[in-house]
Structure 1
Amino acid sequence: MWSGVISGSAALTMAVLAPIWGVLADRYGRKPMLVRAMIGGAFAVGAMGFVGNVWQLLGLRLIQGAVTGSQAAAAALVAAATPVSQVGFALGLVSTAVQVGNTVGPAVGGFAVDGLGFRGSFMLGGLMLLLAGLMAVFWVDEPPRRQAGPRTDASIWARTVGPLAWPGFRGLLLLQVGTQFVFSASVNLLPIYLQDMARPGWLSAELASGLSITMTAITAALGMPFFGPWVDRHGPRGLLAVSLAGCALVLWIQALVPTVGLFLALRAVLGVWLAGVTATLSVMTKLCAPVGREGAAYGSAGSAQGLGWGLGPILGSGLVAVGGIPALYLVCGALMLSMLPVSRR
């Protein structure tokens, strides 16, 4: 139980505060928000190496979710500085960097735990975030901010909920919640699902789970640089519809495969469609935002993603308790298909 609570806690506090950070980015600059996310995350993660009980760890996870959000901050900075005709390519590079981190991170973390222990690995993670924050301070330049119109005295709250009135943005947020829910719910119980599958003697369920996550991240990272320019040339909605359908099909087949080898191959295919979903939703977030409101747009998108990511393990575990893990994949696939009408609006 504690594992699921601690895993989802950071995402839920991020869901609450990400829109506010986005509004502040539009007002005071996107680079300061990127630095805040990196430095704040460094102290929160590093402090986890000193906790004495699970309540302290939970508290730091809540703080981590509240002060971080570097991916949304980086996306807002890049989107605001990039011409609309090239935004797919630019945001694709950001997403590629994230997926490379998702690929390398578990391997480095495994070695760090073996060599330094869990506490040492948290301290190492905090140090890496601190170095990234310092790189943002000295190496990242932000172009002059463009305003959508005359500056108003609207409150932070009014600016935070303002994106809900933008044409098509509520549907986009629904897509963000739904897709992140599916991705987090479908990956949360992988070791348990894989332990009953046929596999070589040397391949443990835990190792197979790690390999499946790594393969998904690798194929997603390889797909991002191609999908970004495609979106720039042809628009995002067609690719989004195909990617949602592709994710649904793969998830349904995952519920039926008997061997780990086939499952790993399907996870690699899923990474391609994951890249398509991520690339298109990121560009659509930029296209929905008025000039000068990119921070608010990506803050709201980060909130929706955090909500989906936090609810996925919780509700997914409940579904598994009722119908088993194959039922979870079938429901997740159906949820992906149910989002097709929203993607066409």
Structure 2
Amino acid sequence: MNQEKPIWKRNLFVLSIAVFIAGIAFSEVMPFLPLYIKTLGHFSKQQLNFWSGLVFSGTYFVSAIVSPWWGKLADKKGRKLMILRASIGMAIVMAAMGLVQNVWELFGLRMLQGVFSGYVSNSNALVATETPKEKSGQALGTMASSFTAGNLLGPFVGGALASIFSYRVTFVITGGLLTLVFFLSLFFVHEDDFKPIEDKKLESTKGVIQALRSPTLIFGLLLTTLIIQAANNSINPIVSLYVAQLMHNHGNVVFISGVIAALPGIATFLVASRFGAWGDRIGTHKIIVGGFIAATIFFFLTAFVQNTIQLGILRFLVGFSDACLIPQVQTLLTKNSPAQVTGRIFSWNQSAMYIGNIVGPLLGSTVAGLSSYSMVFIVTSGIVVLNLILFQFNVIHNLK
């Protein structure tokens, strides 16, 4: 590694690799998690669906609750300490999942995984505070691309490992990957600009709000994050069912569904960093508005596709709009938050994302049950329009 590189560039390089590995670790167990649950007891189809949903959502639920507390600790003790805490904690928990004997133990460990959440959000916070403000969009875009790439590769790696070894061994290997992330962070990440909170007022939520130049802007951005995540995740429960409908239940529905599910992430990976750099030049808020408009069009058109090729093209284009949204919202949060409370702000944003992850699938499955798969995409486009309006009137007006 070139020692003449500025520390923020070295941190960005190391943490982009670390979040890539973490992305693999987080997503590689997801494809076979319901199958693993099936091996832990004798379940009816209804019971298996119930436990799968509970085990999936348990982590998000706990993470949404505890993230603000970890964010507060990050502002007091340092973001590096929090990424070390998260990586080693999850390494142990993930490895332990390979040793469970019943579904209750697995559910408990998934909840505990939520307690140890925060690696990616605190890595983003560290990069955001160490990086010059005029470069923050590109830096956070790079982090988003790296994590997205890991998330995309994870299911393929997990499937291969489970086929070669077993479900249980794959969990242990996943724990090993997160241990590697821990050591990368321990030895190669430096937080030289960290200044612990000295003002006691900043230790309280009220004090943080008072320290913000524009609290309305920040909370508007948090709401924007929640709605973005809800919109993106609303279609997750029905994508494979929509594919099956378009294919008239003929052909390899599972394979095509997997490819289509991966397409948005591929597009985001390709352009997130470039959109971030572009936003640094012309204005981050302009990129976000463009993302909302594009997402509205793509979601709406998806409701009227006639085959999987059209669906795949539109899902790929949605990835471009995604690259304009979450990373850019994080950039606006960075540019409009005091460095001393960045950990808290990013943890609030993480909680908003987790809540969106929970609300979105519930919304999508409810709409699909009451109407049709196509209506889910129409409703989602309406949600994006609502988000655009809220962003314009409650957020843009606060930018100076």
Q: What TM-score bracket applies, with the shorter chain setting the length? A: over 0.9
* One of 103, 111, 114 as aligned partner of 1:65: 114
Cα gap change, 1:75 to 1:97, in 2 (>3 Å) = same
Post-superposition shift, 1:235? 1.4
**Correspondence 1:235 to 2:283:** yes
Cα gap change, 1:303 to 1:180, in 2 (>3 Å) = same
Aligned to 2:6: none
* One of 138, 141, 152 as aligned partner of 1:92: 141
Aligned to 2:346: 298
* One of 184, 190, 201 as aligned partner of 1:135: 184
The Cα offsets for residues 214-262 of structure 1, whole Å up to 9 and x where unpaired, read as 2211110111121011111111111111101211211122222121121
CA distance in 2: counterparts of 1:46 and 1:54, whole angstroms: 16
Cα gap change, 1:236 to 1:155, in 2 (>3 Å) = closer
1:163–1:297 contact (8 Å) kept in structure 2: no
Post-superposition shift, 1:132? 0.8
After TM superposition, the structure 1 stretch with the greater mean CA deviation from structure 2, 2-11 or 21-30, is: 2-11
Structure 2 letter corresponding to 1:73: N
Q: Spell out the pairing of 1:71-220 with structure 2 (5 A cutoff).
A: 71-146=120-195, 150-152=198-200, 155=203, 158=206, 166-198=215-247, 204-220=252-268
Post-superposition shift, 1:296? 0.7
2:137–2:277 contact (8 Å) kept in structure 1: yes
1:173–1:301 contact (8 Å) kept in structure 2: yes
Cα gap change, 1:119 to 1:210, in 2 (>3 Å) = same
2:211–2:338 contact (8 Å) kept in structure 1: no
Unaligned runs of 5+ in 1: none
CA distance in 2: counterparts of 1:187 and 1:163, whole angstroms: 38
TM-score (norm 2): 0.81
After TM superposition, the structure 1 stretch with the greater mean CA deviation from structure 2, 44-53 or 162-171, is: 162-171
The Cα offsets for residues 18-43 of structure 1, whole Å up to 9 and x where unpaired, read as 11111111110000111111111112
Post-superposition shift, 1:325? 2.0
Cα gap change, 1:23 to 1:160, in 2 (>3 Å) = farther
Alignment size in residue pairs: 343
Aligned to 1:282: 330
Post-superposition shift, 1:5? 2.3
Aligned to 2:102: 53
**Matched residue SS, 1:188:** helix
Structure 2 letter corresponding to 1:207: F
CA distance in 1: counterparts of 2:335 and 2:292, whole angstroms: 20
Identity of aligned residues (%): 27
Structure 2 letter corresponding to 1:212: I
CA distance in 1: counterparts of 2:232 and 2:272, whole angstroms: 17
